[in-house]
Chain A
Amino acid sequence: MGNDRRSLLAWCAVAAAGGFVGVATSSTLPRPSGPVILSIGGRVSITNASGTADFDMPMLERMPQSSITTKTPWYESARKFTGPLLRDVLAASGARGATIRAIALNDYKVEIPFEDAQKIDVVMARLLNDRPMPVREKGPLFIIYPFDDRPELRSATYFARCAWQLRTIEVV
């Protein structure tokens, strides 16, 4: 009986701590210490600069990482793309909206429905075959969809949404 109560209390503590940690991680964002490689602006609730959530590479490295190995139109054979999920990155900035606009270094712009990030495990790749991508190799960030796992995504629409040399995201 006493044991039960103790374990119940422990459970409450864990739940509260978890809740607190969750709130803490999602309500503040540290300032980037290195060069900013990604800025998320627009309808974001968590910022660390003037109206934007800025990220350097270590901040993205610290997030849970996912990998997609898939064939793409840009390489002759399948490649492994690794990085945080787009949805986690958006969550870190408290983004709320219907559409995100991805803008690349060369000013390439593409609109991605917000729900893509929720429904599909879209990866914001920062490693190609486990190595960082310099700009001349389409880095440093590359939005990639799981084309091999979900063949229905193999269309011009989704290929176009794979913005590489990604620099900025605007939440609309």
Chain B
Amino acid sequence: MRSEGRRSLWLLWVGAVFVLILGAVTWLQWRQSQLVSEALLLGGDNNAHFLYQADNEYLRLRESWPRPAPEVSVDVAALQLRYDIFVSRIGVLRDSGRARQMALQPEVARALVAAQAFVARADALLGPGVPQPRAAQLAALYPELIALDAEMRALTQSASDLVAVAATRLTEAGREQNRIGLFMTLMLAFLAAGFAVLTFRELQREQKKRRQLEELTLSLSQAQRAAESAAAAKSAFLANMSHEIRTPFQGLQGMLGLLGKTRLNQSQANFLRIASSSASHLLAILNDILDASSLDSGAVKIVPAAVRLDDLLAEVEALMRPQAALKGLELRLVELPGLPLWAHLDPTRIRQVLFNLLSNAIKFTEVGSVTLEVAPIREAGDSSPVFALSFVISDTGIGMDEAGMSRLFERFAQGDDSRSRRFGGTGLGLEISRRLVRLMGGDISVTSKLGEGSRFVVSVPWVEPLNESTTGNAGYRTRDFKSIHAAGEISAEGVDAVRRHDTEVQISGEASDIGHVPVSRLRVLVAEDNEVNRFVMEAMLGQLGHDVQFAVDGVEAVRMANLHHWDIVLMDLHMPELDGLEATRAIRTGSDAVKAAVPIVALTADVFEETRRRCAAVGVSDFLTKPVSVAELKECLERICLTEDRSIRPA
């Protein structure tokens, strides 16, 4: 810092001297040119010429002047002209600026005095306004004219001297000029050198700084690469763990489901219910963690579609109602007037958010009600266009204080520590919900008061669906139903409700309201390397009345797919020898067109978008996310049969 200041001062000094010297040089040059101009005006180097001319005219006048004897005629006019010219020459010497310079030379001064004395006498005869003189009068003056000779000769001599003096002076002036020039040049050179040194040092410092910066950049980019590869490793680890955890889950939930079909006494049924609930809860936690991780890696994409709002809300309400009823709470759905019928939304994600918020509301409310109020948001007035939808979830529960609200959306945070002990949960649900809503271009806000309940407002931009008229209600429902079952990937407590709902449907054996044709006795090939899972699948498919055969790895799956005709292939993605993707590809590229077109449903434990994209790329027809419930399996088979347009009637 100090040296910085010193260097700047130095530069300032050197710069100032530089400017000073350049100024001096400029001044000198200017002065020089002025002097030259001045000298020219004074006719400096022409003085000699004037002296010569004066002498010359003196000689010519003497030539013309009449001699005293013998008496001759005289051309007075010609003499007058010569005389006038001579006078003008003397006048030049006397009048002009050079007179003072030349008067310094005594010879010139003497000549001037003598010549002027002669002119004074001659003007009596030849001056202006004087009558024409006689020759004799003129001749009388001749001796005086002759007497001027010595002085006039001296003028020529002076002229020579003047030239010499001028030459000497010029030489000296040149020398002086050179000396000053040399001094200036040296000074400039010295200063330039100083500048060069300073600049060089500055450059070196800059270079050093740049090198340091480059090193820093390098180490930063290395650190970034390390971080990226760590993140990639984490993702891979999560994908693996996802698979590893879901596979035993498949067994656990499958077996619990099958156990529920058997004859149980009261306490056994109770144990089973608790075990099922625990398994569901564990799965919800796992899903939360995986969802948060997917959001972190940016793998989550919002996929909007045309959605009928009233259907969506009715479905959410229907699925949450049992949960509310269990706690004796009133669940109200309020659709405010002016709500659009259709919206362009990602139904899965909106549902996930609403499930999460409603589950929370139910969880933290002991008495009273939970309300879901949906309203259109307009710019101004009732007639202006809708630009957003607001979903308001309010409850009459325990509420939160300011501190609780401020930590609400933070990862792993719950209202307070005592709550987490009391209510459980991962604390990821709200964070996930908010991030999803923000991905949709909206936001979630909350107002709450301790002991007076909470109010969560979800607002998302409303976009009019493009193909409202062409999207029929039935089509919507089909897709909608499917997306519920794709909800294996969605998180939050709400999903448990979905699952429980499904389970109830399945257990009670009621036909779902979708109007699907029940299918049975399908010939199903299951490619599955895990023995427990094979057992589960066999039990489930058997229960649904289908014929099952197993392949224990990908190679066998391809072989068997080519060998027989199958109505459907359930393909586990993670298998030894040949994985599910490769096996699917092999089947799709088989020589028998009919066998190659067999519907293939991928069974996968991981829930990453990436996996889905890769499945779609090799020609997988549909997905089932492990753990698979009987209901999901049944619905999937029905869906496949419908879309494949195969009416397989019961035998």
Contacts and interface: CB of A to CB of B under 8 A. Distances in A.
B37 A74 contact: no
B129 to A, nearest CB: 11
Contacts, number: 59
Contacts of B46: 73, 156, 159
B88 A136 contact: yes
A136 B41 contact: no
B138 interface: no
A33 interface: no
A136 B89 CA distance: 8
Contacts of A135: 81, 84-85, 88
A154 B40 contact: yes
B45 interface: yes
Contacts of B83: 136
A105 interface: yes
Interface string B93-105: 0011111000000
A137 interface: yes
A75 B41 CA distance: 10
A73 B91 contact: no
A156 B39 CA distance: 10
A52 interface: no
A138 interface: yes
Interface residues of A, number: 20
Interface string A126-147: 0000000011111000000001
Interface string B25-63: 000000000000100111101100000010001001000
Given A134-B128, A156-B40, A73 B97 contact: yes
A126 B84 CA distance: 17
Contact of A72 (B41, B84, B88): B41
B91 A75 contact: no
Contacts of B95: 74-76
A82 interface: no
B92 interface: yes
A50 interface: no
Nearest to A151: B37
B128 A106 contact: no
Interface of A: 71-76, 105-106, 134-138, 147, 151, 154-156, 159, 165
Interface of B: 37, 40-43, 45-46, 53, 57, 60, 81, 83-85, 87-88, 91-92, 95-99, 128
9 contacts: A73-B46, A73-B96, A75-B95, A105-B81, A135-B81, A147-B41, A155-B40, A159-B40, A159-B43
Instruction: Report, nearest first, the 7 A-B pairs whose CB atoms are least far apart.
Output: A135-B84, A73-B43, A136-B87, A136-B84, A136-B88, A106-B85, A76-B97
